[in-house]
Amino acid sequence: MFTDKDTFKQHFQEQFVGQLGKPLKEATSEDIYKVIGSMIREEVGKFWAQTNTSYRESGEKQVYYLSLEFLMGRLLGNNLLNLGALNVVRAGLSELGWDLEEIEEQEADAGLGNGGLGRLAACFMDSLASLQYAGHGCGIRYKYGLFEQRIVDGNQVELPDYWLQRGNVWEERRYDKRVEVSFWGRVETREENGRLVFDTVDAEGIWAVPYDVPLIGFGGRHINTLRIWSAEASENAVRQGMQAGGSYYKYLDYSRTVESITEFLYPDDSQYEGKLLRLKQQYFLCSAGLQSILRTFDKLELPYEELPNKVAIHINDTHPTLVIPELMRILIDMKGYGWDEAWSIVTRTVSYTNHTILSEALEKWPVVMVKDLLPRVYMIIEEINKRFCAELMEKYPDQPDRIAQMAVIHDDQVRMAHLAINGSHSINGVSQLHTDILKEKEMRSFYELYPERFNNKTNGITHRRWLMHANPELSRLYTESMGDGWMTNPYELSQILNYKEDAGFRQRIQQIKLRNKQKLAAYISHKFDTSVDPTSIFDVQVKRLHGYKRQLMNILHVMHLYNEIKANPSIDRVPRTFIFGAKAAPSYYLAKRIIKLINTVAETVNRDPQVRGKLKVFFLENYSVSLAERIIPAADISEQISTASKEASGTGNMKFMMNGALTIGTMDGANVEMYEMLGAENMFIFGLNAEQVNNYYQNGQYSSAGVLARDSRIAQVINQLIQPGPFCTHENEFEEIYHSLISHNDEYFVLEDFADYARAHRDIDAAYRDTENWTRKSIANLAHSGRFASDNTIHEYAREIWKLAEKKQLSMMNI
Ligand SMILES: *Cc1c(COP(=O)(O)O)cnc(C)c1O
């Protein structure tokens, strides 16, 4: 179908008429999108089936990546890329008068995630399939993904993201594979052949219906599965309801209540929501996922002692931790295993990734909630806790505090991280610094107890989406210069270091960056109806809005730059365009005020003729995967400025690096590992390090008011938050922000790091003037970015955590 342009065109024209029953000349872009989508589905169907058959026949170990979030973005372009059909389809469509990029725009982003954690899951799916591992995703098919953000009068307004409105060409509903998930009820105990047996009675059973999405590996032959589950009322409930004299309307109400379980994604990033519905979502995923995993395992007709050799279950953060007690329940109550045997099977099967040390993100469920919703599961959690505390008691007989501090159940709460550590054989952090902090501080007592379980797996990103698809011109230059080996072995990107001193190559790099900037400038110009200078420095911070990520420091610094120009209009500065993109959790008030501040500053700066040509500020609404793909290839500067120790890894930092932006950043998360490779000459590092931040928290000697007293530039900016002037229409307009910095002593050290941040920005200004040297730095970033390809990360997970058989190195020869 996709072998060459003419074959494609012929198939496409036939399919179009066949599927839509109208002539091609009446086509809309959406029609074209749907037809190409269905052609891809048809093309890969055979290989999808073959991949599954080969799994069944070989009996090779299967990995299931359980995650409440998969931030997939659009699939059309990446599927075409991995099928090797991108150029054929682009050329074929072009001859028919259509532009592929415009067709791609028809697809709704699959926004089933909040930010980094969900995007990591998506990058991992691409790497697993491309490296031909037997690895699948298991998630929830939310009817509404992450809200759509609009900016109205400078404020964030949330709109529902009904991404399924126009259908979803990629998914396959598999009603025959539905399973039942039970909530509520009570546990009855009886004796059977000298054994205690537990039955849950009066439970409410609902259907979990799977929808399968093919995950097309690079080369198009290896197809894994993303299985996302949707909640539906079961006929049983209907029948029982009717027998009990329920009305038709009551049933409709009931049905809606059931469906509400998979209605929407919780929009909180690095913040925990203790709502019952969220707990329901978590158990729904764990129960449905496990049933389908075990059904596949059962086909092998092996005893469950073999489960850890055939199945690895990985949990993405603590959200799916209930798989641990749920698998215990199945093994004990349904398969007849004793506690110790079952526990050994579970702990050898499950592994866990920790994503954050922010205390507000740690999941703790009230005991009463878990007990009511999941009575039998709760009994098992209680038993896990009892046995764990006994183990601790034996080990640390004279340290009762330590036992309380480590227990799974404490203060009438179930601590999910403790349960996850207890029930898995591997606990990994997502960057070296983050893992070190886990071991030395946050989870120190667990590390002392189980040192062999802790390990690091630094995050990665798929170079297929973030380089090949997002930056096709750069990809073309690579292949022209050094062949296509880098596509299957991204470490080969380091070969471009050979061209660093080649003036012609540097010029090509400069031209590509300029063209990417021109494209983004056109997009922004169109949105804001204003001109954007593509030769100015594009300085970008795009990520979720959060105190620790310090968008506030960035915008305060922009205010300072504005003040500087106003005080000295002839000041010599390289023109800058600051670009922001960030969604705030709807309930995160301070974050929303920061969005308002950014938009207020943008308005003042952009309409002031005195700074025209020197400074511009834009807040691009609705930051999402597809918007990221537009913005990142056009960035000169990547802002990775979190308070040291707070950002577990970051993956945005890696995307920018892979597109040749230079980073201004703190020694936090994976920035540290970038710095180890790039050195001070290729990165702009500033600010407190993790140890200094920790010392401040420990000794309490930080005073933000003290910083103000010492630095008049900061004092001026801070006053502008509350006094009518360029950024404040009325008194105290931004008083909450002001108070977070002054009355609440600046939890994230924005003021403390401000001076060094401003210094680093001056270094950027100086460095950018030397175009050739700047390009050399950019090339160093590009060259070392292969290290952060998720293919490497996945090889490490496969080898060290999941214990999969080695895969031979792929090459373009066998793709
Ligand atoms: C990569 C990505 C993130 C994560 O960005 P960080 O800078 O690592 O926080 C969040 N949202 C989207 C849409 C992304 O593509």
* 3-state secondary structure (DSSP) of residue 744: coil
pLDDT at 811: 73
pLDDT at 495: 98
Total Cβ atoms within 10 A of residue 277: 13
CA of 271 to the centre of ligand 1 (A): 16
CA of 372 to the centre of ligand 1 (A): 36
Pocket test for ligand 1, best of 109, 461, 541, 543 (most atoms within 8 A of CB): 543
Q: Which two tokens stand for residue 650?
A: 């970051």
Among 2-16, 250-264, 386-400, 787-801, the least confident range: 250-264
CA of 116 to the centre of ligand 1 (A): 5
- Counted residue by residue, the chain has a size of 815
Q: Which two tokens stand for residue 399?
A: 């340290």
Residues 770, 654: Cα–Cα separation, whole Å: 24
- pLDDT surpassing 80 at residue 718: yes
DSSP H helices, 529-569, are: 551-567
Ligand 1 atom nearest to 542, measured from its CA: 7
pLDDT at 808: 64
Phi, psi of 181 (to 5 degrees): -120, 135
Q: Can you count the helices (H) and strands (E) in the chain?
A: 34, 25
Phi, psi of 325 (to 5 degrees): -65, -30
Are 276 and 369 in contact, with CB atoms under 8 Å apart? yes
Handedness of CA 250, 252, 258, 262 (dihedral sign): negative
Average pLDDT, the chain: 96
Please name the CATH architecture into which domain 495-691+754-788 falls: 3-Layer(aba) Sandwich (3.40)
As beta bridge partners, residue 753 has: none
Ligand 1 atom nearest to 627, measured from its CA: 13
DSSP H helices, 374-443, are: 375-395, 400-406, 416-422, 432-437
Mean pLDDT value across residues 209-224:
98
Residues 174, 163: Cα–Cα separation, whole Å: 20
Nearest Cα to Cα of residue 263 among 288, 232, 292, 286: 232
Nearest Cα to Cα of residue 294 among 134, 62, 133: 62
Pocket test for ligand 1, best of 69, 70, 71, 638 (most atoms within 8 A of CB): 71
CA of 567 to the centre of ligand 1 (A): 37
Nearest Cα to Cα of residue 290 among 335, 224, 237: 335
CA of 651 to the centre of ligand 1 (A): 6
Nearest Cα to Cα of residue 419 among 386, 448, 396: 386
pLDDT at 253: 84
The catalytic residue positions are 355, 543-544, 549, 651, 655
The per-residue pLDDT for range 436-480, each reduced to its tens digit, is 999 999 999 999 999 999 999 999 999 999 999 999 999 999 999
Residues 92, 306: Cα–Cα separation, whole Å: 50
pLDDT at 740: 98
Mean pLDDT value across residues 492-496:
98
Residues 391, 408: Cα–Cα separation, whole Å: 13
Pocket test for ligand 1, best of 114, 119, 459 (most atoms within 8 A of CB): 119
Query: How many alpha carbons lie under 13 Å from residue 306 in its C-beta half-sphere?
Result: 13
pLDDT at 815: 64
Residues 529, 526: Cα–Cα separation, whole Å: 5
Residues 268, 333: Cα–Cα separation, whole Å: 35
Give CA 239 to chain center in angstroms: 41
pLDDT above 90 as % of the chain: 93
Mean pLDDT value across residues 21-41:
97
Cα-trace Rg, the chain: 27
Residues 101, 93: Cα–Cα separation, whole Å: 10
* 3-state secondary structure (DSSP) of residue 173: strand
As beta bridge partners, residue 287 has: none
Domain with CATH 3.40.50.2000 in the chain: 59-74+109-459+799-814, 495-691+754-788
Q: What is the pTM of this model?
A: 0.98
The per-residue pLDDT for range 301-342, each reduced to its tens digit, is 999 999 999 999 999 999 999 999 999 999 999 999 999 999
The per-residue pLDDT for range 164-210, each reduced to its tens digit, is 999 999 999 999 999 999 999 999 999 988 888 999 999 999 999 99
The per-residue pLDDT for range 510-549, each reduced to its tens digit, is 999 999 999 999 999 999 999 999 999 999 999 999 999 9
Helices 248-259 & 235-243 angle (0-180, nearest 10):
150
**Strands 204-216 and 179-183, bridge-based pairing:** antiparallel
User: In sequence order, what DSSP letters do the residues of 469-511 get, joined into one string?
Assistant: IT-HHHHHHHHHHH-SHHHH-GGGGGGGGGGTT-HHHHHHHHH
pLDDT above 70 as % of the chain: 99
- pLDDT surpassing 80 at residue 810: no
pLDDT at 786: 98
DSSP element (H, E) containing 155: strand 155-161
The per-residue pLDDT for range 258-273, each reduced to its tens digit, is 999 999 999 998 888 8
Residues 392, 409: Cα–Cα separation, whole Å: 14
Q: Which residue has the tokens 């031979």?
A: 808
Ligand 1 atom nearest to 461, measured from its CA: 1
- pLDDT surpassing 80 at residue 243: no
pLDDT at 814: 65
Residues 545, 269: Cα–Cα separation, whole Å: 9
Ligand 1 atom 1: the closest Cα is on which residue? Answer: 652
CA of 361 to the centre of ligand 1 (A): 17
The per-residue pLDDT for range 119-138, each reduced to its tens digit, is 999 999 999 999 999 999 99
Q: Which two tokens stand for residue 43?
A: 């093309």
Ligand 1 atom 8: the closest Cα is on which residue? Answer: 650
Ligand 1 atom nearest to 116, measured from its CA: 4
pLDDT at 813: 67
Name all residues whose Cβ lies below 6 A of ligand 1. 115-116, 119, 543-544, 623-625, 628, 650-652, 655
Q: Is residue 745 left, alpha or beta, with left meaning phi > 0 and alpha meaning psi from -120 to 50? A: left
Ligand 1 atom nearest to 654, measured from its CA: 8
Cα first-last separation, the chain:
17
**Per CATH, which fold does 59-74+109-459+799-814 belong to?**
Rossmann fold (3.40.50)
Total Cβ atoms within 10 A of residue 577: 24
pLDDT at 809: 66
- pLDDT surpassing 80 at residue 238: no
Q: Is residue 603 left, alpha or beta, with left meaning phi > 0 and alpha meaning psi from -120 to 50? A: alpha
Query: For residue 286, what are the CA distances in angstroms to 311, 314, 327?
Result: 15, 11, 9
pLDDT at 252: 82
Q: Which residue has the tokens 């062999």?
A: 452
Model confidence band, residue 247 (pLDDT cutoffs 50, 70, 90): confident
